[in-house]
Amino acid sequence: MNPTKHVYIIPRWGGNSSSDWYPWLKQQLEQAAAEDGCRYEVHPLDMPAWDVPVISQAVEHLAKLLPPAKLAEQEVYLVGHSVGCLAILHYLAEINKQDPSARVGGVLCVAGWFMVDSPWQDILHWMNAPIDYEQARQAIPEDKLMVLLSDDDPYTSAYQQNEKLWLERLQARVSILHGRQHFSAQLDLDVRDAVRDLAGAFDHTETLRR
């Protein structure tokens, strides 16, 4: 029986399960399953109060959906988009405190930021909230944290500083892609292939190049 890879997509600020490339990614991964020698179950999420996301509500929602026992039973991959990336880190830090053996299969952070150009009050809560990066990192296998950033993201012109922080804080594998803005198109082959790479579909992702 082919192994099942469970992929959960945590959307951008104000996004939902039908936004951007999320439904397309679900379709693409399901179509690639036979080629990849596995079965993908893809779950684009509707997060609570996501028009004005609150960290505690996001963590509580993810912890209920994916408690340590479920992570032990299933091969889980998390895909975050924009603020969804920080939601994942807060969740992983919390879940690893509950159970130090808790692990996910891998994490992909798309347009992930620690700082933005013109923050408003609600987003400052996310920027300033402390995260136990070491605790969060322990829940991710060594080479299974990937980050995709764009060199023209309208919200983060200091993408190189965000890249530096991903490397310093979490030892992530960061790829800078040209002209992708905030990765909000309805399809994105690099996102698809990054997930497949994390899931072990192939050894090297040719499309992800600096």
Does residue 183 belong to any structural domain of this protein?
A: yes
Are 117 and 155 a contacting pair, CB within 8 Å?
yes
Residue 205 within any structural domain of the chain? no
| pLDDT attached to residue 39 | 95
Asked whether residue 106 is assigned to any structural domain, the reply reads: yes
Please state the rounded mean pLDDT for residues 90-116: 97
In this structure, is residue 208 part of a structural domain? no
In a domain, 23, yes or no: yes
pLDDT of residue 91 exceeding 80, the answer is yes
Q: Are the C-beta atoms of residues 194 and 166 closer than 8 Å to each other?
A: no
Q: Does the residue 206 lie in any domain? A: no
Predicted confidence band at 208 (pLDDT cuts at 50, 70, 90)? very low
Q: How many domains does the chain have?
A: 1
Dist. CA 39–CA 122, nearest whole Å: 38
Whole-Å CA distances, 189 to 83, 160, 170? 21, 23, 25
Angstrom distance (rounded) from CA 195 to CA 25: 9
Alpha-carbon dihedral of residues 25, 137, 132, 56, nearest 10 degrees? 30
Stretch 165-189: mean pLDDT, rounded?
96
Portion of the chain with pLDDT greater than 70, in percent: 95
List Cβ neighbours of 109 (8 Å cut-off, separation of 6 or more). 80, 85, 88, 145, 146, 147, 148, 166, 172
On the 0-12 / 13-18 / 19+ scale of CB atoms within 10 A, 189 is: exposed
What pLDDT is attached to residue 119? Answer: 93
Residue 56 maps to a domain: yes
In a domain, 204, yes or no: no
Segment 151-180 shows an average pLDDT of 96
Query: Does the pLDDT value for residue 172 go beyond 90?
Result: yes
Question: For 100, phi and psi rounded to 5 degrees?
Answer: -60, -15
Global pTM? 0.94
- Amino acid, single-letter form, for residue 77: Y
Residue 210 has pLDDT above 60, yes or no: no
Q: pLDDT-based confidence at 201, cuts 50/70/90?
A: confident
d(CA 131, CA 184): 26
Domain CATH code at residue 70? 3.40.50.1820
| Residue numbers of the domain that contains 182 | 4-198
Mean per-residue pLDDT for 24-52?
Answer: 96
